[in-house]
């Protein structure tokens, strides 16, 4: 999928993560993460974001993520939602892509 627009999913509530996606200027996946659990889970959060984008076959995107202790399942769901929005897909979602 190709990111064509800026999109947002998620909130700044605790246990949630806010994901903003936008077309990347330089190509590749660039993640800018702010997290209340950066020291303990920063690595894991980046990994989940990258993995989820990979499964959706998004290769060029800038990600701004503000995390307040979201679990992995929440991170996946927010990234997926933001991705479909950023790619302008509004129906026929591929629910199988993330297991």
Partner 1 sequence: MKNSIGREIPEEIINGRALYGGEFALNEEVAKAAPKVKPVKPNESKLLNSIEEAIIKTGLKDGMTISFHHHFREGDYVLNMVVDAIAKLGIKNLTLASSSLSNVHRPLIEHIKNGVITKITTSGLRGGLAEEISNGLMEEPVIIRSHGGRARAIEAGDIKIDVAFLGASSSDEYGNASGSRGTANCGSLGYAKIDAEYADKVVIITDCLVDFPNMPASILQNNVDYVVKVDKIGNPSGIASGATRYTKNPKELLIAEYASKAIVESGYFKDGFSFQTGTGGASLAVSRFLRDEMIKKGIKASFALGGITKPMVEMYEEGLIKNIFDVQDFDLDAVASIGKNPRHYEIDSSFYTNPHNKGCIANKLDVVVLSALEVDTDFNVNVMTGSDGVLRGASGGHCDTAACAKLTIIVTPLVRGRIPCIVDSVNTVITPGESIDIVVTELGIAINPRRADLIERFKDVDIPAYTIEELRKKAESIVGIPDKIEYDDKVVAIVEYRDGSIIDVVRKVK
31: which residues sit within 8 A by CB, 6+ positions away? 46, 49, 50, 63, 65
60: which residues sit within 8 A by CB, 6+ positions away? 2, 3, 23, 24, 27, 28, 29
Q: Are 60 and 30 in contact (CB under 8 A)?
A: no
Residue number with CB closer to partner 1 (4 or 71): 71
Count of residues near partner 1 by CB under 8 A:
15
Residue number with CB closer to partner 1 (10 or 86): 10
How near is the Cβ of 47 to partner 1 at its closest, in Å? 10
Contacts (CB under 8 A) with partner 1, residues 1-60: 14-15, 36-37, 39-44
Residue number with CB closer to partner 1 (2 or 43): 43
């Amino acid at each position: 999928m190709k990111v064509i627009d800026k999109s947002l999913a998620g909130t700044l509530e605790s246990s949630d993560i806010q994901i903003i996606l936008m077309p990347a200027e330089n190509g590749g996946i660039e993640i800018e993460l702010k997290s209340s659990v950066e020291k303990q889970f920063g690595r894991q959060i980046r990994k989940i974001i990258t993995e989820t984008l990979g499964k959706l076959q998004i290769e060029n995107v800038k990600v701004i993520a503000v995390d307040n202790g979201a679990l992995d399942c929440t991170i996946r769901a927010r990234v997926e939602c933001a991705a479909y929005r950023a790619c302008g897909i509004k129906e026929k979602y591929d629910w199988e892509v993330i297991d």
